[in-house]
Amino acid sequence: MNLPWHLYIMAFVYFTAGVNHFRAPKVYLKIIPSYFPNPKFINSASGFVEIILSLLLLYPQVTNRAAWGIIALLIAVFPVHLNMLFHSKASLNLPIWILIARVPLQLILIFWAYQYTFSNY
């Protein structure tokens, strides 16, 4: 496959993040807002979706659809970042500046994924 190097990086990032949902579920369960039903399912499902989307990014026929899926996923998990920012139990004891930085970082990640929504390789 002759794909741009930055697409491989994106696939690696989401694959690694997806695997971590299964490798260290307790971390993710702490940050899921309490008003979400069935946090274990949400954790497993989001990890599974991240893994699948990361792999689909590497298939030129569906790269653009996988990128749209990543955008949808990033929007869906946005409440987690707000939960971490506003609830100390969910903050994982991270410094406040990191918690604040995570919010605009989501927008940067969405923009990065958007770059592949109209690309065919």
- Per DSSP, the residues of the chain read ----HHHHHHHHHHHHHHHHHHHSHHHHHHHS-TTSS-HHHHHHHHHHHHHHHHHHTTSTTTHHHHHHHHHHHHHHTHHHHHHHHH-GGGTTT--HHHHHHHHHHHHHHHHHHHTTTT---
pLDDT digits 0-9 by tens, 61-100: 999 999 999 999 999 999 999 999 999 989 999 999 999 9
- Over residues 100-111, the pLDDT tens digits come to 999 999 999 999
Q: Which amino acid does the sequence have at 69? A: G
Cα 8 → chain centroid? 15
Q: Share the mean pLDDT of the chain.
A: 95
120 pLDDT band, cuts 50/70/90, is low
Q: Could you give the C-alpha distances from 30 to 33, 49, 73, 103, in angstroms and in order? A: 8, 19, 19, 18
- The predicted pLDDT at position 2 comes to 83
Mean pLDDT along residues 57-61: 95
In the chain, domain spans: 5-114
Q: Which pLDDT tens digit goes with each residue over 6-32?
A: 999 999 999 999 999 999 999 999 999
pLDDT at 121: 66
